[in-house]
Amino acid sequence: MKEERFSELIKKYQEGKASSAEIELIEAWLDSRKDFETYGKLSDIEVQKIKKSIKSGVDNRIESKTYDKVKLGRGFNIIRRAAAILIVVVAGFLLWEMIGNFAEKTQIQIAQSSGEVKKVILNDGSIVWLKGNSSLTYPEEFTGEQRLVELDGEALFEITKAYTEPGLWGRIIGEKSVRKSFIVKSGSLKTRVMGTSFNIKTKPGETEVYVLTGKVEVLLDEEKGLELLPNERSVFEHDLQKLTKINQESLSMDSIRKAPTFGEYTQGTEYDMYFENIELNEVAKRITEKFDVEIAVEESMKNCLIRADFTDQSLENTLELIVETLNGNYKIEKEMVYLSGRGCY
């Protein structure tokens, strides 16, 4: 960035007219200069002038002649070029973020249930079953570092694991892919997960979160919240703004399935995918109902018996488990799944 341009940005900042992107550029430029040791060959007076310029740059207009008087030599020219590259990277990142945020905000979807259970399959493969008179607000496509939806009412969530790949700068500094958290906002309450299944129910005066599998964190006002394990429950009292964990024993899915409340939470959904010696042809029908895909099973495999629990598994994981068990193969083409193999005889 040329000194004249930098001075113009500083003036805009002092007059309160600088945008957030321009402020980011100012800070990045200053940080890039401060991070390098370029003062070795300068006199003490010259060093103090430059440091003072950088330190007071955000609060006082910097005139380019301050730097014109200092001959910084070839080393500083290299650093100036490095700073210019950094500014381009920062500006590009900010632009990408703004475009991504704008795209996500302009693709908002709203699903509503009217007394009956309504299934919503999100673009990451997660499934939400809306119950009663409820609504779910969500982006058509998750594009940020987290997956955020808003719930009004009650729903059963089955969340898939998702990962975010590092951007250009992240790859440069060696960052690796990390899990994308999934956040459900219910009024002032937030439920944060990575990949799990749980039920949220809002009714007059309180909101309940009940966990079926995995681990969930329930937060209030961005503070560290309560961690819930399978079969544990929290209740948020609206009037008192009080979040409480109900002491229940953490149980396995087999035990939770036998509890009376399991049917209450899963009624009207295809959540439960436990099979006890069921023919693959019937299992395929259940998979079709749950994931809204068509499945073609090779004749040799239709009568093979399946004894497995595919509850809380994605479509891909379910198919992987089936073909591993039966020594078969599968392929997905658009919304069609083909299962093939030698069969079970």
Q: Read off the pLDDT of residues 161-192 as tens digits, 9 standing for 90 and up.
A: 888 766 666 666 666 777 889 999 999 899 99
Per-residue tokens: 151: 């719930």
pLDDT of residue 163: 81
Determine the average pLDDT of the residues in 46-75: 43
Rounded to a whole number of angstroms, the distance between the first and last alpha carbons of the chain is 73
pLDDT, average across residues 291-316: 94
Reported confidence tier of residue 45, pLDDT bands at 50, 70, 90: very low
Q: Is the pLDDT of residue 130 over 90?
A: yes
What pLDDT is attached to residue 220? 86
Alpha-carbon distance of 184 to 147, in angstroms, equals 8
Closest by CA to 199, choosing from 233, 229, 225, is 233
Answer whether 0.75 is exceeded by the pTM.
no
Question: How far, in Å, CA of 229 to CA of 216, rounded?
Answer: 7
Q: What is the pLDDT of residues 221-242, one digit of tens each?
A: 776 689 999 999 999 999 999 9
* Lowest mean pLDDT across 91-105, 127-141, 230-244, 252-266: 91-105
d(CA 194, CA 181): 5
Residue 153 pLDDT > 60, yes or no? yes
Distance (Å, whole) CA 317 – CA 335: 16
SS3 state at 273: coil
The CATH architecture one would assign to domain 274-341 is 3-Layer(bab) Sandwich (3.55)
What is the reported pLDDT for 334? 82
Summarize the confidence of residues 14-18 as an average pLDDT.
66
> What single letter denotes the amino acid at residue 286?
R
Q: Which of 304, 295, 285 is nearest to 343 (CA)?
A: 304
Q: How confident is the model at residue 102 (pLDDT cuts 50, 70, 90)?
A: very low
Average pLDDT over the chain reads: 79
Structure tokens given for 55? 């330190």
Q: What is the CA radius of gyration of the chain?
A: 28
Lowest mean per-residue pLDDT among 44-48, 131-135, 257-261, 289-293: 44-48
Lookup: tokens for 56: 């007071």
Q: How far is it, in rounded angstroms, from Cα 267 to Cα 117?
A: 9
pLDDT at 78: 60
CB contact set of 320 (below 8 Å; sequence gap of 6+): none
Dig out the tokens for 30 from the structure.
């200053």
The answer on pLDDT for 71 being more than 60 is: no
CATH architecture of 108-266: Sandwich (2.60)
pLDDT digits (tens, 9 = 90+) for 257-301: 999 899 999 999 999 999 999 999 999 999 999 999 999 999 999
Q: Are 228 and 209 spatial neighbours (Cβ–Cβ below 8 Å)?
A: yes
Instruction: Please give the pLDDT value at position 330.
Output: 95
Please give the Cα distance from 41 to 5 (Å, whole number). 27
User: Given pLDDT bands bounded at 50, 70 and 90, which one contains residue 311?
Assistant: very high
Pairing between β-strand 189-193 and β-strand 197-203 as defined by DSSP bridges: unpaired
Beta-bridged to residue 283, according to DSSP, are none
Q: Where in the chain is the domain with CATH 2.60.120.1440?
A: 108-266
Residues 6+ apart with CB under 8 A from 313: 273, 321
Q: Which two tokens stand for residue 77?
A: 């020219």
Report CA-CA distances (Å) from 208 to 201, 202, 270: 5, 6, 22
Q: Residue 49's pLDDT is what?
A: 45
Candidates 288, 286, 252, 290; CA nearest to 160 is: 290
Question: CATH 3.55.50.30 in the chain, residues?
Answer: 274-341
Is residue 197 within 8 A of residue 158, CB to CB? The reply is yes
Give the C-alpha separation, 221 to 28, whole Å: 31
Two tokens, residue 255? 């035990």
Cα 72 from Cα 76, distance rounded (Å): 6
Higher pLDDT, 267 or 4: 267
